[in-house]
Amino acid sequence: MDKQEMLQWLSGHAEEFYRIGDALWDTPEVRFTEQHSSHLLAEALEQEGFQTEWNLAGMETAFRCTWGSGKPVIGFLAEFDALPDLSQEAGIAEKKPIEPGGNGHGCGHNLLGAGSLAGALGMKKYLEANGLPGTVAFLGCPAEEGGGGKTFMARAGCFHDLDFALTWHPGCGNAIPPGIFLANCMVRYSFTGVTSHAAGSPEQGRSALDALELLNIGIQFLREHIPSTARLHYAIVDTGGISPNIVQGHASGLYQIRAPHTPMVIEIYERLNRIAQGAALMTDTELKIEFLRATSNTVPNVVLDKIPSLIVAFICAVFVCPRFAVDRGPMYTEQERKAAKKELPPLGPVREVLGYGIFLVVVICMLLSNYIPLEIWQICMIGDLVTNFIQNVLGTNPNPWGAVIVLWLTAFIVTQFMSNLALMTAMGPLVYLLCYSYGWNPIGLVYMVNTACFISYLPPLSTVAIPYMMQLGGYEQKDLLRMGWIPAILMTVVSVPWVMITFPPC
């Protein structure tokens, strides 16, 4: 069975997968209550010879269905939980609840479960038909909407024996996402006060709703003093009643904190706690803090981005370059080189002063940059020149493909005339700043600029290894051009689209 045949097998069984996706839609169950949904998926796998294990990490609806033996162990992650208050009739584009206030599948976890099921069965068929070793592990992960089921499964070691795992989420496009998801946590603050008639005996009352309002005001002021990459969300889930003439004795809200890294989330969480304690003090009410859940930020696999370049570099070095590089033998004998070293004339006074002088002036200017009317990148020249050039070309609202090509060309062209390591060091921060100003993800672009800086096979200036090799192998500039153009074009063709697929800027 080849890949094409496996895809045909999957298409032939599409109706079955649609039926399961629809059945999950028809029985929407929210976090940790997915009894029907989890059993539906497990039964479909059991019919194909999978063995099921229930109650993973102490959660009734977390399960693993396993088929096959030996390595590799291939994981398929499935989600199947619904969201509250999203009941919806299927197949129409306007809001029409089947049951007002009921549960519904808002972001397609019914498809997520059924799609992963198709993936696991397709993989099983492929291994089976080709007599290959391998284990297929289908992991049912409950409560992904507001419960973080995978967190508990990870802590219990449910993923330890996997060689790799595939997961996905329904969306508007078919792509590998940028890889960064924010760390986050959810907390409930509940205040308890004393009820009383608001006109007859207000002095007897202690308002929990006032405390909740003060907490929210405190949080609005906090927003200015947290990193701009962090997010704070809230929902009031208990107002303490609907009567304004009663002092509200209970009130609570749900709060969510998101930030690029877990330590940042923890720091903001602790500040939120102190604001809530302050609100309780101000209103003479009691505060209860319930830490509900948290997940860390994702850590993208950047190594993946380097693989195509490494493959191309290897192929070029072993098969392509030797065809174009004529070994003319060393240009100089060992004695001639030793003699040439001795005869090397000392630098003239002007060149010597310039050599040290420029370096010293730049360092002194950088140290005194607070006192002279120049920005750091104006002192260093290259930063200003390159950023101005790139920003002029791109404009205010650039197309990501345009940006990728401009950055690639800039790094590629400039590195032909200066050290690639120096250019890489200079361009890294520029790319970060550029991405920051456009609100883009910088991972792919930084990596791509680094690759462009390393494709410096054309002239001898970009890295010291090249003049050294030219001398040893007796190569000339025209040999470098002959050898260098194929890897340069191949690397460009491979790296630019690959980066846009694996780590698109937006």
The per-type count for the chain, helices as H runs and strands as E runs, is 18, 11
Q: What is the largest CA-CA distance in the chain?
A: 109
What tokens were used for 383? 């930063």
| Complex with Zn ion: residue 167 or 378, whichever CB lies closer | 167
Examine residue 83 and tell whether it contacts Zn ion (CB under 5 A). no
In angstroms, what is the minimal distance from the CB of 177 to Zn ion? 12
In angstroms, what is the minimal distance from the CB of 295 to Zn ion? 13
What tokens were used for 454? 């390393």
| Complex with Zn ion: residue 25 or 447, whichever CB lies closer | 25
From 36-44, 105-113, 435-443, 448-456, give the range in contact with Zn ion by CB under 5 A: 105-113
From 69-77, 107-115, 353-361, 443-451, give the range in contact with Zn ion by CB under 5 A: 107-115
| Complex with Zn ion: residue 107 or 156, whichever CB lies closer | 107
Phi, psi values for residue 474, rounded to 5°: 70, 30
**Contact (Cβ atoms closer than 8 angstroms) between residue 443 and residue 433:** no
In angstroms, what is the minimal distance from the CB of 86 to Zn ion? 11
In angstroms, what is the minimal distance from the CB of 187 to Zn ion? 21
Q: Which string of DSSP letters, residue by residue, matches 451-505?
A: HHHH---SSTTS-THHHHHHHHHT--HHHHHHHHHHHHHHHHHHHHHHHHHHS--
From 102-110, 324-332, 344-352, 391-399, give the range in contact with Zn ion by CB under 5 A: 102-110
Residue 146 DSSP code: T
Beta strand ranges found along 239-324 (DSSP E): 246-247, 250-259, 286-295
In angstroms, what is the minimal distance from the CB of 122 to Zn ion? 22
| Complex with Zn ion: residue 292 or 500, whichever CB lies closer | 292
In angstroms, what is the minimal distance from the CB of 169 to Zn ion? 6
**Contact (Cβ atoms closer than 8 angstroms) between residue 77 and residue 71:** no
Residues forming a β-bridge with 185: 257, 294
From 44-52, 57-65, 103-111, 338-346, give the range in contact with Zn ion by CB under 5 A: 103-111
In angstroms, what is the minimal distance from the CB of 80 to Zn ion? 11
| Complex with Zn ion: residue 73 or 111, whichever CB lies closer | 111
| Complex with Zn ion: residue 110 or 502, whichever CB lies closer | 110
Measured distance CA(374)–CA(439) in Å, rounded: 27
From 87-95, 99-107, 467-475, 489-497, give the range in contact with Zn ion by CB under 5 A: 99-107
| Complex with Zn ion: residue 9 or 181, whichever CB lies closer | 181
Measured distance CA(276)–CA(287) in Å, rounded: 7
Q: 3-state DSSP call for residue 409?
A: helix
Count of positions on this chain that bind Zn ion (CB under 5 A) = 1
Measured distance CA(276)–CA(214) in Å, rounded: 8
In angstroms, what is the minimal distance from the CB of 214 to Zn ion? 34
From 34-42, 104-112, 130-138, 380-388, give the range in contact with Zn ion by CB under 5 A: 104-112
Angle between helix axes 14-26 and 3-12 (nearest 10 degrees) is: 50
* Interacting positions 222-241 with Zn ion (CB under 5 A): none
Query: Apex CA 54: angle with CA 51 and CA 57, to 5°?
Result: 130
Examine residue 107 and tell whether it contacts Zn ion (CB under 5 A). yes
In angstroms, what is the minimal distance from the CB of 145 to Zn ion? 6
Beta strand ranges found along 229-366 (DSSP E): 231-238, 246-247, 250-259, 286-295
In angstroms, what is the minimal distance from the CB of 164 to Zn ion? 22
**Contact (Cβ atoms closer than 8 angstroms) between residue 81 and residue 142:** yes
Query: Apex CA 222: angle with CA 219 and CA 224, to 5°?
Result: 130
| Complex with Zn ion: residue 107 or 365, whichever CB lies closer | 107
Give the residue closest to Zn ion by C-beta.
107
| Complex with Zn ion: residue 106 or 260, whichever CB lies closer | 106
| Complex with Zn ion: residue 107 or 422, whichever CB lies closer | 107
Instruction: Write each residue from 176 to 205 as x if it is in contact with Zn ion (CB under 5 A), else as -, in one continuous string.
Output: ------------------------------
H or E stretch including 6? helix 3-12
Residue keyed to tokens 């297929």: 136
In angstroms, what is the minimal distance from the CB of 144 to Zn ion? 6
**Contact (Cβ atoms closer than 8 angstroms) between residue 103 and residue 192:** no
| Complex with Zn ion: residue 107 or 470, whichever CB lies closer | 107
Residues in touch with Zn ion (CB under 5 A): 107
